[in-house]
């Protein structure tokens, strides 16, 4: 086996640092991975998590900021799924025209520190063909997903890399997941935070969410979350909801922020990524990095080493 292949296995299966006491998550560094991923993904640069706090520098390498190219004005959050594609919500690009110039900023969690960041123009975007998002009635929003096709490949490093995609639907009812973004810190606060913020939120059973918002009709394509005093708000749109897979010790993208009220007492609604895996593959020909059994992974590596 060539040395380079050994290094790749270490990237896929190596443990990350142990979680701090402030997190609802368990698994990172607490046990060896029992499955791998098809390529390095979902690896966080972290030593601790404190719910509803500022993220550590470049803690989440897949998180990018969608901005107006000329002014770097914040539009939405997005997530890297491979070196040429990021994923966001359709409503983030729905009103843009083809002549609008937008970019992503990768590799920084502090928008005032761009010296080590990668600012890459978005060449085009693919909005879901059946996206529906009436401005007057967000509760009826469906298929809120879009792909950002980058003008040039990102250079992956410790601060820039893809998130893992799910292999199918994951039952996360009542589970704790991670929400990150540069959105407003409250309905009455007009300015956006300079630093990337994070919080732990809980996935609600869809029936519970539907009782609070009767307009929700598509449990297979949407997921609801609610946090202890925290939630998504304006500016968080398109950003990732990730789940720490205990089998891989890697973060998996499970949702994209779609809409909500900015009130912690009201659930936020997100696009469920697993429902759109066929659509993603149809549009870009690949599903990026996903979980795979160690047996399958080792078999692939063995073939490459011959």
Domain of 286, in residue numbers: 36-294
Q: Is the residue at 10 inside a domain?
A: no
52-92 pLDDT, tens digit each:
566 677 899 999 999 999 999 999 999 999 999 999 999 99
225 in Cβ contact with 203 (< 8 Å): yes
214-266 pLDDT, tens digit each:
878 888 999 999 877 655 666 678 999 999 999 999 999 999 999 877 666 77
**Per-residue confidence (pLDDT) for residue 193, from 0 to 100:** 73
Does 103 participate in catalysis according to the annotation? no
Q: What is the torsion angle, in degrees rounded to the nearest 10, for the CA atoms of residue 125, residue 131, residue 136 and residue 139?
A: -120
Given 23, 79, 91, 109, the catalytic residue: 91
**Per-residue confidence (pLDDT) for residue 183, from 0 to 100:** 77
Q: Is the residue at 249 inside a domain?
A: yes
Bigger pLDDT: 87 or 46?
87
Burial of 256 (0-12, 13-18, 19+ CB in 10 A): buried
In whole angstroms, what is the distance from residue 236 CA to residue 167 CA?
25
In whole angstroms, what is the distance from residue 197 CA to residue 194 CA?
9
Q: At residue 12, does pLDDT exceed 60? A: no
Q: What is the torsion angle, in degrees rounded to the nearest 10, for the CA atoms of residue 132, residue 272, residue 173 and residue 184?
A: -80
CATH number reported for the structural domain that contains residue 99 in this entry: 2.40.10.10
Q: Is the residue at 156 inside a domain?
A: yes
138: helix, strand or coil: helix
The domain total for the chain is 1
Bigger pLDDT: 216 or 205?
205
Q: Point out which residues pair with 127 in neighbouring strands.
A: 146
**pTM (2 decimals)?**
0.83
Given 24, 44, 144, 245, the catalytic residue: 144
Does 136 participate in catalysis according to the annotation? no
Q: Is the residue at 16 inside a domain?
A: no
Q: Is the residue at 248 inside a domain?
A: yes
Helix axes 294-305, 3-13, angle to 10 degrees: 160
Does 53 participate in catalysis according to the annotation? no
Q: Is the residue at 18 inside a domain?
A: no
Q: Is the residue at 137 inside a domain?
A: yes
305: confidence class by pLDDT, cuts 50, 70, 90: low
Q: Is the residue at 46 inside a domain?
A: yes
Given 33, 232, 237, 258, the catalytic residue: 237
């Amino acid at each position: 086996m060539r040395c380079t292949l050994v290094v790749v296995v270490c990237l896929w299966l190596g443990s990350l640092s142990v979680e701090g006491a402030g997190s609802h998550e368990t698994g990172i560094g607490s046990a060896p991975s029992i499955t791998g991923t098809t390529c390095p993904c979902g690896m966080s640069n972290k030593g601790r998590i404190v719910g509803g706090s500022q993220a550590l520098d470049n803690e989440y390498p897949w998180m990018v900021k969608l901005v107006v190219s000329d002014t770097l004005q914040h539009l939405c959050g997005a997530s890297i799924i491979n070196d040429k594609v990021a994923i966001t919500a359709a409503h983030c690009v729905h009103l843009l025209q083809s002549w609008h110039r937008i970019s992503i900023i990768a590799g920084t969690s502090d928008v005032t520190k761009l010296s080590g960041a990668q600012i890459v123009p978005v060449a085009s975007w693919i909005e879901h063909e059946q996206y529906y998002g009436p401005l007057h009635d967000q509760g009826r929003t469906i298929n809120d997903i879009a792909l950002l096709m980058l003008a040039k490949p990102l250079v992956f490093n410790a601060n820039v890399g893809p998130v893992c995609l799910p292999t199918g639907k994951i039952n996360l009812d009542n589970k704790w997941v991670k929400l990150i973004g540069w959105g407003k810190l409250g309905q009455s606060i007009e300015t956006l935070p300079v630093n990337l913020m994070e919080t732990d939120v809980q996935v609600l059973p869809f029936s519970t969410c539907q009782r609070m918002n009767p307009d929700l009709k598509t449990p297979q394509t949407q997921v609801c979350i609610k946090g202890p005093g925290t939630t998504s708000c304006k500016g968080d749109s398109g950003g990732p909801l990730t789940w720490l897979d205990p089998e891989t010790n890697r973060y998996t993208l499970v949702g994209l922020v779609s809409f909500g009220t900015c009130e912690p007492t009201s659930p936020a609604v997100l696009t469920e990524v697993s429902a759109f895996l066929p659509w993603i593959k149809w549009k870009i020909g690949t599903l990026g990095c996903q979980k795979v059994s160690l047996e399958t992974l080792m078999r692939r590596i063995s073939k490459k080493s011959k």
